[in-house]
Every structure is written in structure tokens, then in C-alpha cells.
Chain A
Amino acid sequence: MSEHKRRDAVEGKAGHPALCVLPEIEKEDELLEIMWTLREEGKLTHDEVLQNCSMEGCEVILKDLSKSGWLHVKGQAIELLPKGEKRARELVRRHRLSLRLFYDLFALDGAEAEACKFEHILSPEVTDSVCTLLGHPPNSPDGKPIPRGDCCAMFRQEMKPLVAPLADLMPGEQAKIVFITPGSHSRLDRLSAMGVVPGTIVKLHQKRPSYVIQLGETTIAVDKDITKEIFVKKV
């Protein structure tokens, strides 16, 4: 594939799904994603799929997918079968979450290209973690809806992000440390020497006059600033 075409594919044209240029084995994924996106736009037809597919041998792949029971083709009509539906949904979810991750969090220019690589390698657990980390975003940066995952359902029940700064806990609440984003390396070293590391269960005792936290049998008084950098998940 030429460099020119690659760029076209990555940037996406005229509102069409952004395509990823990837090894053979992932072409099926691409096609499923195209179909998901076309269906969102209400124009999922056999011809449209082929038209939007910039890969070679699209027709063959489509037939293969049909043969292995991912989807059902009848004339122009294409219907995703349950297992195809699930696969496409997860793919799109990973792709759009990755976009958000790179776009929002890392402010990367080549977000689209990175997201294309990521959608194939994220495990379900990591996907949910990314989703949680980002606060269960409803849309990708280009405004397309992100299919919901299990973690989002839990999120809706609790109506709160699962991961929040320790400073946001109420006194008396317990949580597990998920990650720490320290202002300085020495701060992280000091905290970890006291046992404040990811995976530890921490309880917030009080917020005023100073923050007091407890880990096991260790009680530590800390600055508020520090508790803003310790991200926890309620247990």
C-alpha cells in the first residue's frame, strides 16, 4: 500500500470510518469496524462496505466472515450475527477509547494511528481500566459514541468514577490504591517507604486539620496535596 493511501486511510475521508492499515490477520477486524460504523450512519449495505474498504481483497474477507458465522449476507443486506456483533462492538470500543486516551490524556498528534495499533492489543481488563481511568467517556473525540462496557454499567449504578483521588473520599471510607501520580520522585519514594503503593487498602480518617490516612496498622498524617495525587478505587 502506498504512503499516500496510508495517510488517507489514517485520517479518514469525508466522515467515513477511519481505517487502519494493518497486517493480514487484522483485516477482518477492520471490515467489522467499517460495518459497525456504517450501521451507525444507517447505510450498511454490501456496496457501501466495499466502497469504504480501502484494503485489497475485501470481498474475499467478507465471504470468509460470512462463512465462519460472523455475519449474514443476503443481497445488499448485511446482518451482524451475535458473535460478530460482539466482536465488532468490542473492537470499536477499544478503538474509540484508545483515541480518547491518546487525544485527551497524552495530547498526541497521531492519535488515530496509535489507536489503530492499540485496538488490537488491549485486553478486556485493560480496556475497562482505560475506560474507568477516563471516567467512562460516552464519545470518542470525533463525536462518535463509544459502545458501553461492563465497567460503564457499574459506573452508572454508582454514578461516580471508580477511580478518584484519595482527597475525594469521605472520612471513614476505604479504598484500594490504583495508581499514584506524584509531583516529585522523592515524594513517591517517601510514600512507598511508608507502604503507600498501588494495591494497598487505605482508609481516610479525617480531612481537617490535616489529612490522616491508615494502611493496615500504620497511621500517617499527610498534606492534602499528596492525597490528590493518590488515586484510589473504592472497595
Chain B
Amino acid sequence: MHDHGSSDGERHRDTNLNKVLLIGNPNVGKSALFGLLTGKYVTVSNYPGTTVEVTYGNAVLNKVRTTVIDTPGVNSLVPMSEDEKVTRDILLTDRADVVVQVADTKNLRRGLVITLQLSEMGVPFILDLNMDDEAKSRGIFIDQERLSHLLGIEVVKTVAIRRSGVDKLLKSIQQPRQSSLEVRYDDAIEGAIRDVSALLPEANILRRALALMILAGDESLKGWLHANMQDHVIAEVETIRQALQSKYNNSLGYLINQRRMKKADEILAQVLSLHESGKGSAIASYLGKWSMHPVYGLPILLVVLYAVYQFVGVLGAGTVVNFLEKGVFGEYLNPWAIKIVHFLLPVPFLQEMLVGDYGLITMALTYSIAIVLPIVGFFFIAFSLLEDSGYLPRLAVMVNQVFKLMGLNGKAVLPMILGLGCDTMATLTTRILETKKERILVTLLLALAVPCSAQLGVILGLVAGLSGLATIIWLGTLLAVMLLVGFLAAKIIPGQPSDFVLELPPLRVPQLANILVKTVARVQWYLKEAVPLFILGTFILFISHKVGALAYIQKLTDPIVVNFLGLPSRAAEAFVIGFLRRDYGAAGLFMLAKEGLLDPIQIVVSLTVMTLFVPCIANFFMMVKERGMKTALYMVAFIFPFAFGVGGAMNWILRTMKVAL
């Protein structure tokens, strides 16, 4: 992000590099359009808040080298959460040549509220009416020409996921204009806008827009104000704002927004026509209702979970892993590798390093490619299907009441579920939450009790071999821990929970192409991020083993691992390596179990500890980045003994009660 001091330089920037900024309400297809324009894939899903960061991509549009910028969705350019602030900040500090406002055609009313704010800012822009197909199937028709005339800017219609309308969009991008539209507010507000504008410094957007943001009570603007204005001027501005606010009962932000909404309705009345033509997909609409139904909702959830379990746990972690691990690697690749290495490298040390018990090929690659990769691959497919169907936000409706117990609301279910994909990414997604308290709570619960896909897959593979009771004990302990810790942490961590206001996207049939592209992108990410860590971890194990450190660590941890948790000494390896990657730790347990070294109780105990245990290194760094070093360390300091405590208690209870699993 540029600081303001460089904005002069900005204006004389390289004219060859055009900047196109994508802006719009959440879940309208900005990322889909971004992918279309740049060929660079960013995650596209069917729920608001998929994008929480700004993404840059380069493309040659209309023969001009262009940087395309994808932004998190906003409902108003007065931000309510961190992800919305990112978008407002980029408008404030980064001068784009063209702003492309992406709007959901069937939901134009809310899009127009953004349009009005962009016209107030005086930025050159065009309006893209996306998802035109869905609007048509619902009988909603927008008179594009008339709208273009009313707004004084180019208006195009697209269906980004089908690449339809892109040619026209590219043409329009060459003719961005400032909108001629103007919203008049009450005389008192207009007066205050004039007074405040006179005090403001020059910025990338018109002073009028900036004044309106300040009057609307935008707290998040404070940083910018302090960087660009003197304190006594800021105080003067605040006095004007308070004087104006005291004239009204309702908040100024609301009054301003209400006025915009009214203007949007006036425009809409002139361009919108409704035709009778069915109400979209009736099946999707019913499924959407049932998935949040107080009675049918739960069975649907169970069916979904069971389907995921069958697909990932049984098919992926069972059949495919067996085929790869025992068949491909066990029968062919590893024996060949051993032969080749022994033939080519007559040095015992190197032989052992590559193909020994802790060999980079026989252990690191076997674990990462034969065990974890198929599991995460299957999980990514299942997860993408869920994401694109629009089911996840509906889960929030089902669990809102439970989450309230933990000082959260249903909205927090999104980062938590994403944690099942990857806790690191999910920690980033906590930005969609509105209060600091909620962000801290969810970060903690993610690190503690939400297993990530790779780990989960391995765990599903392990418990698939046990009785249903074992799975229930593992899952029940996790849920109980989550509730208990959430409940207590909510009491300790200061702050207020926020309102539950969550937009639910329509249920959609997932697009096969998007599922494939998304899965491939995630698998690539896994290979790039995880495999090197597997190799590093194995190397550390190998060296530790060679210098005898492993035996020493095992001896050191025996009192906990062996006596307290009742696990074999070698399980310590899995825990140590679990620092690097959670799934690697789980895979270590997976191998121990396969070798028959763990009985069912030991499996359940070790899995529980492994799940609760510290987050992987990447997740820890993300915690530090998002929450700060102090908070992150506090969390780890809590999680570490807590995980072992729970495991020990579990071991004792299961043994004492002689539970047969």
C-alpha cells in the first residue's frame, strides 16, 4: 500500500501500466472476473467474504499492459469489518485508471448504493452487471442503455463464470467516466459537507466523498486523517460532525445511507422491469429452505457430513491411499528407489538419508504423496463442492445459537469451517468478523480444536478402521473442548460480541470447471507448501535419529507420552514433527497404527492430542501476523499443556472404565 506522501509520484506513474480496480458488493463475482481478465486463479466460492485480501494480477487488456486488482466485497464504502476497510483504503490511497464496479444484476439496488458512492468520490468507472443469467431466470430485466444514460457511465452485462460479455467489458474499460449522478442530502448535512470539505487535504477521491465518510462516523478513517491532517483540524472536523449529529435522532451514517438508498430506488424504478418466468430453480430454492429448517436442517447436515466422510475418509483415505501407499509406493517406487540409490550411491549415510527408516524418499515422499496428497485432494474436491453450493452460510443459521454460547455468532462458522480446509487461511479469514474479541476467539479455537484438511483426512483414515464409538469419542471430545474453551474464553476476553447479520447466497449448482480449477490450485498450493516441509521434517528426524537426539527426546518425553498418555515411546516423533505440519504428525500416527503399535484407545488418545495440539508453523506465523506476537504466544502457552491434559484425562477415563473400542 502506498502512503500518502507518494501520491504525487503516483500521478506521474508509468503511463503504460494501466490500473483496473474491481469493486463491488460481496459475492457478486469480482474474483471470477479477475480470473477471467488475468488468467490468475483466486479462490472463487459461493459465499460472501471469500476474498479478504487485495490480489494483484497482470494482464494485457486492449493491448495495454494492465494491473488488475481484486478487492474484498463491500456493502458500503464506510467499512464495518477489516476486509471492507481494505477495499476502502485502496480507493483512498491508490489511484486507479479505471474502477470496474461489479454488481449482481438481480440485486442491483444494493449495487447502486456503491455506484452512488463511487460517483461521489469522482473516480472514473464503469458498471458491470454480472450474473445476468440468474437475473433473467428470475424474470428480472435491467434496461442497460437507460441505466447508462442515468448514471453517465458505461454499463455492460456479463456472466463472468461463462465468459459471456467480456468483449464488451474490455471495450468499456477504455472509456471510464466520472458519473454525472448527484445525491443531495438535507440542507444541514450539505452545510456540514461544505464546512468539512474546506478543512480537508487533497486526496485521491473528491473531498465531498471524504467529508461524507467522516460525517457518517467512519472510525476506520482515523488513521488516514491523522497521517494527513493536523490534530487541531481533526478536532474542528469532529466538532462539526457532533454539532450535525446532535440535530438528528438517528445516526448520520444511517441518514446518509437512507438517502442513497432512496436515490437507488428512484433509479431502479426507471430501469427495472419484472417478467413472469418462474422463480429461478425451484429445487435449489427448496433445498435452500430445508437446509436451514429447524427439523430437516439437522438430518441434511448429517447427510452432508456422512457423504464427506464416505468420500474423503473411506474412498480417499482408504481405497486410494491403500492403492498408492501399498501398491504404487510399497511394491514399485520404493523398492526401485532403494535399488537405484544403493546402486548409484555407495555411501551408507546417504543411502540411509534417502531410503532408510527416516529416508527422504521412503518417508517424506511416501507420507506426503502417497498418504496425505490423495486425502487432501479428495477433501479439496468435497470442500469446493460445499463452498460453491452456497451451503456453508446456511450452516451459520443452524449453529448461531450454539455459537452464541461461545461469545460468537453464526457468522464465525465460516472461518471455522474454512479451518477444516486450512487453519492458516482460516485465521486470515477471521477478518470478516466485526469485533476484535470475535477474531481472537476464533483464532484460538482454530488453533486448538479445528483439524485442517490434511490432518482430518489422515484422522478419518485412522478412525475408519475403528468402531463408530471411537469416532464419536474423538469428535465429542473436540466439540466439548471447543464449547468449554469458547465459553470460558468469551468470559475472559474483554469486548462485545457483534450482531448476527449474514447474507445468504442462493444455492447454486457448482460449476465443474470452477471445482476442478480450485482443486488443482489447492493441490498445487499443498505440493508447494507442504512437501518441502515434509522433506525438512524428515531430514530433522533423520539427523536427530543419527545423533541420538531422537532417543533422547523420547526419553525426555516418556513420562508424558508413555506414562501419562499411555502411548508408545515412538509417538513422541509424531508430536515433535507435528510442530512442522499437523498432517505430518497425524501421518506418523497413521504409520504407527498400521504397524500395529497402537491399540484403539491409544489411537483415540493420540489423535485427540494431535488435533488439539499446537497449530503448524505456518498457522503460528499467521496468528502472529494477524493477532500479534503476544496474543499468539499466550495461545500456544495455553494450548500446549491443555492438549496433553485432555489426552491424559481421556486415557485415564477410557482405561478405568475399560471402554472397548
Q: Chain A: interface residue count, which band?
A: 20 to 34
Provide the A194-215 mask, 1 if CB < 8 A to any CB of B, else 0: 1101110000011011101000
In the assembled complex, A123 has its CB within 8 A of some CB on chain B: no
Chain A residues whose CB sits within 8 angstroms of the CB of B503 once the complex forms: 194, 218-221
User: Once the chains bind, are A191 and B138 in contact (CB under 8 Å)?
Assistant: no
In the assembled complex, A187 has its CB within 8 A of some CB on chain B: yes
* Least CB separation from B75: chain A residue: A193
In the assembled complex, B251 has its CB within 8 A of some CB on chain A: yes
CA distance A209 to B107 in the complex (A): 26
Q: Which of A121-174 contact B (CB under 8 A)?
A: none
Number of B residues with CB within 8 Å of any CB on chain A? 45
User: Once the chains bind, are B499 and A226 in contact (CB under 8 Å)?
Assistant: yes
In the assembled complex, B147 has its CB within 8 A of some CB on chain A: no
The stretch from B191-199, B286-294, B357-365, B514-522 touching chain A is B286-294
User: Once the chains bind, are B501 and A222 in contact (CB under 8 Å)?
Assistant: yes
In the assembled complex, A104 has its CB within 8 A of some CB on chain B: no
* Least CB separation from B500: chain A residue: A223
User: Once the chains bind, are A195 and B400 in contact (CB under 8 Å)?
Assistant: no
Shortest A47–chain B CB gap in Å is: 48
* Least CB separation from A223: chain B residue: B500
User: Once the chains bind, are B297 and A193 in contact (CB under 8 Å)?
Assistant: no
User: Once the chains bind, are A189 and B257 in contact (CB under 8 Å)?
Assistant: yes
* Least CB separation from A187: chain B residue: B499
CA distance A225 to B498 in the complex (A): 12
**Most B-side CB within 10 Å, residue of A189, A205, A208:** A189
User: Once the chains bind, are A209 and B294 in contact (CB under 8 Å)?
Assistant: yes
User: Once the chains bind, are A193 and B401 in contact (CB under 8 Å)?
Assistant: no
Shortest B438–chain A CB gap in Å is: 14
**Most A-side CB within 10 Å, residue of B293, B294, B501:** B501
Known: A189-B254, A197-B257, A221-B400. A209 touches B499 (CB 8 A): no
Shortest B621–chain A CB gap in Å is: 32
In the assembled complex, A50 has its CB within 8 A of some CB on chain B: no
In the assembled complex, B258 has its CB within 8 A of some CB on chain A: yes
Chain A residues whose CB sits within 8 angstroms of the CB of B506 once the complex forms: 217, 219
CA distance A195 to B500 in the complex (A): 15
Shortest A230–chain B CB gap in Å is: 12
* Least CB separation from B131: chain A residue: A217
Known: A193-B76, A220-B503. A206 touches B107 (CB 8 A): no
In the assembled complex, A216 has its CB within 8 A of some CB on chain B: yes
Residue of A186, A187, A209 near B297 (CB, 8 A) is A209
User: Once the chains bind, are A188 and B261 in contact (CB under 8 Å)?
Assistant: no
User: Once the chains bind, are A209 and B254 in contact (CB under 8 Å)?
Assistant: no
Known: A194-B503, A206-B292, A221-B396. A189 touches B251 (CB 8 A): yes
CA distance A210 to B294 in the complex (A): 9
CA distance A205 to B293 in the complex (A): 10
Chain B residues whose CB sits within 8 angstroms of the CB of A190 once the complex forms: 80, 499, 501
In the assembled complex, A74 has its CB within 8 A of some CB on chain B: no
In the assembled complex, A185 has its CB within 8 A of some CB on chain B: yes
Chain B residues whose CB sits within 8 angstroms of the CB of A191 once the complex forms: 501
User: Once the chains bind, are A217 and B138 in contact (CB under 8 Å)?
Assistant: yes
Residue of B253, B258, B293, B501 near A198 (CB, 8 A) is B258
Chain B residues whose CB sits within 8 angstroms of the CB of A76 once the complex forms: none
Shortest B258–chain A CB gap in Å is: 5
In the assembled complex, B214 has its CB within 8 A of some CB on chain A: no
Chain B residues whose CB sits within 8 angstroms of the CB of A198 once the complex forms: 258
Known: A198-B258, A222-B500, A222-B501. A185 touches B400 (CB 8 A): no
In the assembled complex, B623 has its CB within 8 A of some CB on chain A: no
* Least CB separation from B499: chain A residue: A187
User: Once the chains bind, are A197 and B398 in contact (CB under 8 Å)?
Assistant: no
Chain A residues whose CB sits within 8 angstroms of the CB of B499 once the complex forms: 187, 190, 222-223, 225-226
User: Once the chains bind, are B78 and A189 in contact (CB under 8 Å)?
Assistant: yes
Q: Which of A17-53 contact B (CB under 8 A)?
A: none
CA distance A187 to B294 in the complex (A): 26
Chain A residues whose CB sits within 8 angstroms of the CB of B140 once the complex forms: 217
CA distance A154 to B107 in the complex (A): 34
User: Once the chains bind, are B104 and A217 in contact (CB under 8 Å)?
Assistant: yes
Shortest A190–chain B CB gap in Å is: 6
Residue of A185, A192, A223 near B258 (CB, 8 A) is A192
Q: Which of B265-286 contact A (CB under 8 A)?
A: 265
In the assembled complex, B217 has its CB within 8 A of some CB on chain A: yes
Chain A residues whose CB sits within 8 angstroms of the CB of B93 once the complex forms: none
Shortest B75–chain A CB gap in Å is: 4
CA distance A205 to B253 in the complex (A): 28
In the assembled complex, B570 has its CB within 8 A of some CB on chain A: no
User: Once the chains bind, are A185 and B257 in contact (CB under 8 Å)?
Assistant: no
Known: A188-B254, A190-B499. A212 touches B398 (CB 8 A): no
Residues of B within 8 A of A (CB): 75-76, 78, 80, 104, 106-107, 109-110, 113, 138, 140, 216-217, 250-251, 253-254, 257-258, 261-262, 265, 289, 292-294, 297, 393, 396-401, 409-410, 499-506
A-B contact pairs, 25 of them (CB 8 A): A185-B217, A185-B251, A188-B251, A188-B254, A189-B216, A189-B217, A190-B499, A191-B501, A192-B258, A193-B76, A194-B75, A194-B110, A209-B294, A209-B297, A210-B398, A210-B401, A212-B504, A217-B138, A218-B107, A219-B503, A220-B502, A221-B397, A221-B503, A222-B499, A223-B501
Given contacts A199-B265, A210-B292, A223-B400, 19 further A-B contacts (CB under 8 A): A188-B250, A192-B261, A193-B76, A193-B80, A193-B257, A197-B258, A205-B289, A206-B294, A209-B398, A210-B410, A212-B397, A218-B110, A219-B505, A221-B501, A221-B504, A222-B499, A223-B501, A225-B499, A226-B501
Residues of A within 8 A of B (CB): 185-195, 197-199, 205-206, 208-210, 212, 216-223, 225-226
* Ranked 3 nearest A-B pairs via Cβ: A185-B251, A193-B75, A193-B76
